Amino acid sequence: MAADAPLPVAPAAVEPGGTVGVLGGGQLGRMLAVAAARLGLRTHIYCPQEDAPARDVAAATTIASYTDEDALARFAAAVDVVTYEFENVPVEAAALLGRAGALVRPGAKALEKAQDRLHEKDFINAVGARTAAYHAVDDLASLEAGLAAVGRPAILKTRRLGYDGKGQTRLADDERDLPGAYRKAIEHAWAEVGAAPSILEGFVPFEREISVIGARGADGAVALYDPAENVHRDGILKTSAAPAAAAPGALDAARAVTADLLRALDYVGVIGVEFFVLKDGAVIVNEFAPRVHNSGHWTLDVCAVSQFEQHIRAVAGWPLGDPARHADAVMENLIGEEVGAWRAFAAEARTCVHLYGKKDARPGRKMGHVTRISPRRA
């Protein structure tokens, strides 16, 4: 961990017995609440869903819309600091909480950048990191112009609200297109993203995908977990293995970019940054998430301080913990009906089972995860 120049003086740290407010009640909020309890802190969940998984383990819950000004004001008055467990919390809600006197961490800048893929890409490049070639798309004409600029294959993604493979479609490179097929392909792609403002991203011929979980404290200290190697299935993260098998130079570059983003965002909390590693060892940023991240779940079982505790420490103004890994790990998401094999997972040696308490095992829904542990190799 290394400290930067001191930040402006912040309020005193939230002491044991204090309350951390969390916007969002999903599994990430649930794991944040458990981590807070270990530190003697209470959590107050704010979300619209009656059956939110985080409610099972939180000290208090407010069920209300993210646009309910009165409910947000009451929530602000009941907590010592506010954070969020997913990046699509309306920026307006964070602003309302700020006006009500709440300290919101991470700040609105990270939300604003992460919620719009075009602004996110612009910001990443401005920091000096690389991304895939991209082009703003607002209609069929700009989609055609984007294809001419970035080439094919390419991926068309909505600028806002997409996750886990949703809100995106691929435009393949097919030299055998019949007359009129090209036009039909782009019209179909435009319809697939709902004719919404989008971004066209060029294909990256990557060797592997990795991610870095990083944290920045209220005092400017930065802590970085070992990069993990990720495998996706149908656009959803399936496994994360720590440590990643990429070359040391690529891992160091990914760590450096993550630290640069934390500082440029004036960030307080945990961030997840996803990278493509090219065959020559160069790294390209795919995207970042201003929250605890699915690819960091392995830290629960092989680090003294998990990403969830690290986030609570940061937003509460505590010192950051040591992110060192004491074993190797492979985290596997349990998606949809896969959770039905919980008994078999529970019987596996050196396997940690985490179930999220969700009732309906719908296709594509993350129901839990397991982490398989082995002795540390490096």
Q: Is the pLDDT of residue 99 over 60?
A: yes
Q: Which of 110-119, 163-172, 205-214, 351-360 is predicted least confidently?
A: 163-172
Domain 208-374 adopts which CATH fold?
D-amino Acid Aminotransferase; Chain A, domain 1 (3.30.470)
* pLDDT at residue 160, rounded to an integer: 86
Question: 5-9, 64-68, 177-181, 194-198: which has the highest mean pLDDT?
Answer: 64-68
* pLDDT at residue 333, rounded to an integer: 98
Q: Which of 138-152, 164-178, 291-305, 308-322 is predicted least confidently?
A: 164-178
Domain 133-202, what architecture? Answer: 2-Layer Sandwich (3.30)
Q: Left if phi > 0, otherwise alpha if psi is -120 to 50, otherwise beta: which for 262?
A: alpha
* pLDDT at residue 109, rounded to an integer: 87
Distances (CA, A) of 29 to 91, 293, 345: 18, 11, 24
The CA angle 42-46-47, to the nearest 5 degrees, is 140
* pLDDT at residue 163, rounded to an integer: 59
Where exactly are the structural domains of the chain? 2-114, 133-202, 208-374
DSSP state of 303: B
- The tens digit of pLDDT for each residue in 202-227 reads 999 999 999 999 999 999 999 999 99
CA distance 365 to 342: 15
Please give the residue that has the higher pLDDT: either 331 or 175: 331
* pLDDT at residue 229, rounded to an integer: 98
Q: DSSP readout, 38-81?
A: HTT-EEEEEES-TT-GGGGT-SEEEE--TT-HHHHHHHHHH-SE
- The tens digit of pLDDT for each residue in 5-43 reads 444 445 579 999 999 999 999 999 999 999 999 999 999
Domain 2-114 adopts which CATH fold?
Rossmann fold (3.40.50)
Mean pLDDT, the chain, rounded, equals 92
Coil/strand/helix, residue 165: coil
Alpha-carbon dihedral 199, 202, 203, 204, rounded to 10 degrees: -110
Q: Which of 87-101, 210-224, 257-271 is predicted least confidently?
A: 87-101
